[in-house]
Structure 1
Amino acid sequence: MRALLVPSGSIDLSPVEHLLRQLGVTPTRARDDEAAITAFHLSPYPLVLVGMDEAGDRIVLVRALRACPRGTQASLVLVARPEQVEKLQPLLEAGADDFLLLPLDEASATLRLRLAERRSAERPQPLPDDFELDGLCAVLLRESPVPTCITTREGSAFVEVNDACTRLFGYSREEMLWRTAKDLNLWETPLEPDRLSALFQEQGVLRGVESRVRSKDGEMHHVLIYSGIAEYAGTPHVVTMFPDLTERKQMQARLLLSDRMASVGTLAAGVAHEINNPLAYVTANLGYAHEELVRLLERGTAAPPDSAPATHPLKAVCVALGEALDGADRVQTIVGDLKTFSRDTQEPLRAVDVKKVLDRTLNLASGEIRHRAKLVKEYGEDVPLVRGNDSRLGQVFLNLLVNAAQAIPSDGDADHHEIRVRTHLVSPGKVSVEVSDTGAGIAPELMGRIFDPFFTTKPPGVGTGLGLSICHNLIHAMGGEMHVRSDLGRGTTFQVLLPSATTAMEQAGPEPRPGVSSAGGPRGRVLVIDDEPMLCTAVERILRPHHDVVYTTLAAEVLPRLEAGEHFDLILCDLMMPKMNGMDFHAALQRLRPELTGRVIFLTGGAFTAQAKTFLERVPNRRVEKPFNARALLAVAREVIATVS
């Protein structure tokens, strides 16, 4: 029998060599590790003795020897000093069979060497170089789209993997052979192999056990594990298949989120409707009170209210009402955002000043930013207005700013981090808005997926993976582009490119303050139908100076009067009401007084049913959204009544 001795600088293999000669074994010394591998390639040895080095790290040599032709048949024995025993475990897991301790106990060492000799003789012959699987084995292993591997029963080292398996884990076949799943850190947790091993020992097989594995790039995959004992190259091995469930799990998550978003949309629309009803008369009454107070101040001081004496007792009341109207406007904006969950918003594109939108958005995001980074604003002086929608742009910028802040650790070291917001004209007709951070950056292999729906690099529970996808779609809908560049470990920059506004576009301006217009027009007779009594009185209060108003909270009650021929120039009717709603009233009016259907204006706090949406798309009638602008309501009323007159 022949043996290969691989020395190290700290281990003297002379006693081992002497004992081998006594046992009739012919030892051959290798000069170093490289020479040992070369010698084993040229003429494999049934017994290899490896001296431990000072660091105790011989795992590369052990694996290299195992990977050589006939390396699986050889017995690998480590030679170490007693103080190096604790360093032997990783080497035994990597493929070493046994160890000898110096100074040698001759009886014990002789027994271990005889066992090593027997182990080598009993191991099956390795596969010949021209070995090829055939029949069913070839189909299952090589052609199967299911990731499949064959491992040793002891040590669980990979001896064969198919192409699907290498694609799943991201390692080449050469990188996986004679290494274990533990070596490659393939399991999600260190305890997972123990759990699977216990199940395997208890049941003898694994049938569809769900688990999660990690690929080379760190991406997690949901898999089902099927394992059993099968003969391979003449000896029992463990055959394992890993059907990848990742796409199925993602689809289930998308369907679940889609159902959840649909439920949220229905809930949001209903909530918006219920808020809009009281908000409508709150806004209308505040506007009425504010306008009346302004008139009183104007009559009392013969000057605009802003120039009235600061000590005037009603001046403070006027200011308070103005602030209350501002608060109502904010509630209206929030409710409008809620309604975006339930419908596709087709808001008009206007000329927008991105600097103003950014400033408003930065105020909202300041709580996220100030504890993490310094904020730097770099606004270009030559930046024109852009074509877009200010609320949607605000949504995009807020998402980018919050993402930038969350990419920076919240360790209180804000002075060493920076979030920079920059605007400039990149070319005639194109404006660039950039949000940069000095955070962790994005790995190059993830850059291509950054705008994919449901893809996120944030921890579970922090992000849904929808934010950037929605932002990308919003910018694209406005005729813009969205790009990202990142340097791993140094930071990320998101760039939004927007078309500049044309001179013919309407500039976005502040909404007019709800109030009562004193403009003239023909006086008419108006019927108001709404199930909210206070909304009816609020509308009556707004219209009373200009028109004769009749109101009711039940649509069915007014039908006999209409059937009897009572005249109305305008009918303001709520769309969603109990008992008889606006749609039913319109149908009844079509039967009784079809000439009046064109005079109906629907008051709506949100059409949150499919029936209501279809109805509004079908009929040509005007509508006023709650909470309504009193001035706009008056203008619509004047227009309809003037047409009738």
Structure 2
Amino acid sequence: LTFAELFALALMRDFEVEPLLMPNPRAAEIGAIRSSIFLAILITTTGLLHAYYNDLASRRALRSETDLAKNRVRYREMLDSSPDGLFSVTGDGLIEFANHTLVRLLGLGSRQDIQGRTLSQFLVDADTDTLRREATELGESISIECDVVHADGTRIPVEVATSGIYVYGDRGQVLRIRDIRRFRTANREAQVLRATFDQAPIGVAVQKLDSEVLYVNDKYLEMTAFSREELVGERLLDLSRSEEAHDFLASVQGALARGETVSVPKMDWHDFGTKPGYVDVRAFTVQPPGQDAPRWVTFLRDVTPVVELEREVSRAERIDSLGKLAGGIAHDFNNLLTVIMGQVDILDEDLGGDHWGHEYLATINDACERSAALTSKVLDFSRKQTLRPTVFMADDAIRGLVPLLRQLVPERISLDLGIAPDVDPRVRCDPSRFEQIILNLVANARDAIEGTGTIVVRVRTHPESEENRRSLGEVEIEVSDDGAGMSKEIQDRIFDPFFTTKPVGEGTGLGLSTVHGIVHQSGGRLEVTSSEGQGTTLRVFFPSTDAEVTLPDSEPRPSKPADDRRGTVLVVEDNTSVRDLITRTIERLGFSVIAAQDGDDARRWIEDRDQDFECLVSDIVMPGVGGVEVARLFRARFALKRIVLMSGYAEDEIGPIERLPSDIRFVQKPVTAKMLGEVLN
């Protein structure tokens, strides 16, 4: 074999530092051709050559020129079949031998195109002099990455490995060049995949089945509050923060070992992560190609907002169900109060003078008014109250309440107003209900403070943003206190009707539920922030409006005496007692009355061409034909005549009261003689 071929054979030893050819210390003459050398070669399927000790004396059968030529050809074919480029360099730095793989990689025609040239003519961004010196003089085995230049000028990324060789007094260098374009592409794709997983909105972890962590993404670290150094290479079971977490991970490990898939849609994450919440956990096994052991893959998705939304929907459905029940009861109760209060008014008027019965009638009337107020609260939280919204300045309304608020709050508690200057807090709401909201919130804050403390009422405006998504922004009313605060469990129930933390007999549980109903019926929303020992902040947000501020209504005209017959009124009411009372009351005002027991009966009277009516007084909520339809029929026949609608609650039937035509009056039950007199006169 030539020196060049011996150099190439040394290259196939995968660049070990020890030289392939070594003089036998037993030989009489160093470097003699008969010296024993490590020359015999074992070629494996990977293309690596492994040398073992042999003595040339045992291979004297190969001395014939024919056998030597055959072996020379065989060695060249083995070198040319290598998937890597192989070549050798003399001590002078000139390329002496190259295999066909290297010739193809460089785009050359034959070996002769590369022989006799230097490394620097092919390697780019590589210090070839240092490579040759460290390999040949220091005996170092070196591996670097650089580029080689193809014959067409293309730069090809390669890995170059080199080591020195010393043969019969001559120093040389053998090199292997490997095309790493496919490796770099795969590496870039792996980096993109890793970056994708790191930016994923769900936590991802890959583990061995014994729970040793191999890979985690950033979201997983965030959700578990571990660092990457704390997790990777460790068994997750050994890092459990609680017994519950350990038991769960052990059960997941057992299920995966049996080939099962684990799915826990809503796991309480308190024992696993950094803060309370809920996580959707999915775990399964995958079988990597070329590996015997499967891998355990875990996906973690934060579903806390979903669970909270489900709770909110459930709470809203619960309140709505209670509201429907309470609204129906309130409607019937208002009819009863209408009868009682109406009969009291008639009896009180008929007694006249200083009759001793006036005092008792006043007591009955006072009890009825308190009952009506309670019914009104029930309608508020059930969102069935008929509102009369107007446009007003929220800050002006709160300033007008200050005297009343100071009476509501004891001297040991300071009341601070924080109304931002130069704001335009115009809202559309029922003014009386707005005042009720403020009074209820301040009273609730007062009750939360034991001893001294502070209640702060603030008014702010917020422009349009991604959060509120209101075209004109929002007006915020904040009421905060430094009282005892609330637990999470209490916060979940504070808007439930009839829920109270006060002792039995000291609260109805309708305060905040009333606020909740009014705010949502007015198109607003509520936010609560509280923690035990840190106080509570309640924020009410109303949609801003650019409408003109509504001017106050003029005082209602007084009732006229019943001195003559003033036309006929059609009264429509399905409740017999209420119908009889309203009929009697209107007759005392000087009108004739025709009473219809329901909408169908009223339609027959309206369609009677011989009958003329001055006014319609109708209940709204009735079986069959409702009051709104009766009013439409009446308007079609008597275009210029008055229409009065009344109901215990009617929001579902007519919508907000402001949507009624301006010439239709609305009366909220319970109805009194005074109220009827005002609308009919």
Short-chain TM bin: 0.5 to 0.7
Q: Match for residue 391 of structure 1?
A: 433
Deviations 1:88-147 (A, max 9, x none): xxxxxxxxxxxxxxxxxxxxxxxxxxxxxxxxxxxxxxxxxxx99939974885565431
Letter in 1 for 2:413: V
**In structure 1, distance between residues paired with 2:263 and 2:550:** 61
Query: Shift of the alpha carbon at 1:162?
Result: 0.6
Q: Match for residue 601 of structure 1?
A: 644
**In structure 2, distance between residues paired with 1:461 and 1:432:** 21
User: Contact (CA 8 Å) 2:268, 2:276: kept in 1 or not?
Assistant: no
**In structure 1, distance between residues paired with 2:412 and 2:234:** 49
Is 1:331 the counterpart of 2:413? The answer is: no
Deviations 1:523-579 (A, max 9, x none): 333232211122122223322333233323245446555514123322212223234
CA separation of 1:421 and 1:183: change in aligned 2, threshold 3 A: farther
Letter in 1 for 2:364: L
Is 1:208 the counterpart of 2:263? The answer is: yes
User: Contact (CA 8 Å) 2:286, 2:295: kept in 1 or not?
Assistant: yes
User: Per the alignment, in what secondary structure is the counterpart of residue 576 of structure 1?
Assistant: coil
Residues 161-560 of structure 1 aligned to structure 2 (within 5 Å): 161-174=216-229, 176-177=231-232, 190-202=243-255, 203-210=258-265, 211-214=267-270, 217-228=274-285, 238-260=296-318, 262-264=320-322, 266-293=324-351, 295-297=352-354, 313-338=356-381, 340=383, 346=389, 349=392, 352=397, 353-355=400-402, 357-358=404-405, 376-378=413-415, 389-399=431-441, 402=444, 414=450, 418-421=452-455, 435-439=480-484, 457-458=488-489, 461-463=492-494, 491=535, 518=561, 523-545=566-588, 546-557=590-601
Deviations 1:564-601 (A, max 9, x none): 4123322212223234433443455467xx13673332
Residues 153-164 of structure 1 aligned to structure 2 (within 5 Å): 153-154=209-210, 156=211, 158-164=213-219
Deviations 1:324-375 (A, max 9, x none): 3432442343244245257887356486432455368669xxxxxxxxxx96
User: Contact (CA 8 Å) 1:572, 1:600: kept in 2 or not?
Assistant: yes
Residues 136-155 of structure 1 aligned to structure 2 (within 5 Å): 138=194, 141-142=197-198, 144-151=200-207, 153-154=209-210
User: Contact (CA 8 Å) 2:202, 2:301: kept in 1 or not?
Assistant: yes
Query: Shift of the alpha carbon at 1:419?
Result: 4.0
Residues 2-151 of structure 1 aligned to structure 2 (within 5 Å): 134=190, 138=194, 141-142=197-198, 144-151=200-207
CA separation of 1:212 and 1:264: change in aligned 2, threshold 3 A: same
Q: Match for residue 673 of structure 2?
A: 630
Q: Match for residue 51 of structure 1?
A: none
Query: Shift of the alpha carbon at 1:317?
Result: 1.8
User: Contact (CA 8 Å) 1:540, 1:549: kept in 2 or not?
Assistant: yes
Q: Match for residue 6 of structure 1?
A: none
**In structure 2, distance between residues paired with 1:610 and 1:136:** 59
CA separation of 1:226 and 1:342: change in aligned 2, threshold 3 A: farther
CA separation of 1:423 and 1:288: change in aligned 2, threshold 3 A: farther
Q: Which of the pair has more CA radius of gyration?
A: 2
Query: Shift of the alpha carbon at 1:377?
Result: 4.4
**In structure 2, distance between residues paired with 1:621 and 1:318:** 33
Q: Which runs of 5+ in 2 are unaligned?
A: 1-186, 420-424, 461-474, 498-511
CA separation of 1:581 and 1:425: change in aligned 2, threshold 3 A: closer
**In structure 2, distance between residues paired with 1:225 and 1:630:** 68
**In structure 1, distance between residues paired with 2:304 and 2:531:** 28
**In structure 2, distance between residues paired with 1:259 and 1:483:** 18
Is 1:574 the counterpart of 2:619? The answer is: yes
User: Per the alignment, in what secondary structure is the counterpart of residue 275 of structure 2?
Assistant: coil
User: Per the alignment, in what secondary structure is the counterpart of residue 218 of structure 1?
Assistant: coil
RMSD, matched Cα = 5.6
CA separation of 1:209 and 1:136: change in aligned 2, threshold 3 A: farther
CA separation of 1:435 and 1:159: change in aligned 2, threshold 3 A: same
Q: Match for residue 111 of structure 1?
A: none
- Number of aligned positions between the proteins: 443
**In structure 1, distance between residues paired with 2:566 and 2:662:** 26
Letter in 1 for 2:664: N
Deviations 1:398-419 (A, max 9, x none): 346547866x8xxxxx55xx44
User: Contact (CA 8 Å) 1:230, 1:239: kept in 2 or not?
Assistant: no
CA separation of 1:200 and 1:614: change in aligned 2, threshold 3 A: farther
Q: Which TM-score applies when normalising by structure 2?
A: 0.51
Deviations 1:261-291 (A, max 9, x none): 5555544544443333223223322333344
**In structure 2, distance between residues paired with 1:615 and 1:345:** 6
CA separation of 1:555 and 1:135: change in aligned 2, threshold 3 A: closer
Letter in 2 for 1:283: M
